[in-house]
Amino acid sequence: MQPIDHEKVKDFISSLDESVPKEGAAVRMDQYGGGPDESGIRANQAGYLRLGIEFLKAAYAEPAYRDKGGDDVDREYLDVDLEYLVSLESDVNFDSFERTENVELINEDLANIGRLNVLAGCVITVGLIFFIIWGVSSFFMTVSKWIL
């Protein structure tokens, strides 16, 4: 795999930025279901191009500020200009753009949340099973007292 030619990529992004006007570009992001995983993007051609260009520009943007979070990971927060592009009627909007080379740590955090959800589900299931067993045994104990 070849290394990234950053100067060539920057020139390409700059050329795209100059080639696709902001005027007339439109993007709408909507959540159609119960959560963010049920969202969609509707845009005109210029809107999709401008959205891609703005994300590409973020790769080389100067950070608005830097932060080292509680997990001791260096993070750079960026100003990405989507205000002109994303419709005010959109349900979904982005208010934070973070650049970090430790994306794996982010995935670990999400995996840990998933593990906690599985653990909570197991505990609830076991609790329900014990509750049902207790209820059934109590019912039969009561019925047996009536019969005898």
Write down the pLDDT at residue 74.
76
What's the token pair of residue 45?
């051609």
Cβ partners under 8 Å of residue 83, min gap 6:
none
What's the token pair of residue 94?
């982005």
pLDDT tens-digit profile of 72-100? 677 888 989 898 999 988 888 887 888 88
| pTM, 2 dp | 0.63
- The structural domains of the chain, with segments of one domain joined by +, span 1-101, 103-148
Sheet of 65-68, strands arranged across: 65-68, 74-77, 98-99
Question: Has residue 125 got a pLDDT over 60?
Answer: no
Q: What whole-number percentage of the chain has pLDDT above 90?
A: 36
Q: What whole-number percentage of the chain has pLDDT above 70?
A: 69
- Cβ contact 96:65 at 8 Å: no
Question: Has residue 120 got a pLDDT over 80?
Answer: no
How confident is the prediction for the chain on average, in pLDDT? 79
Write down the pLDDT at residue 40.
92
pLDDT tens-digit profile of 12-70? 999 999 999 999 999 999 988 888 888 899 999 999 999 999 999 999 998 888 887 66
Write down the pLDDT at residue 126.
52
Q: Which residue has the higher pLDDT, 147 or 49?
A: 49
Write down the pLDDT at residue 96.
83
Question: Has residue 122 got a pLDDT over 50?
Answer: no
- Cβ contact 86:33 at 8 Å: no
Three-state DSSP class for residue 70: coil
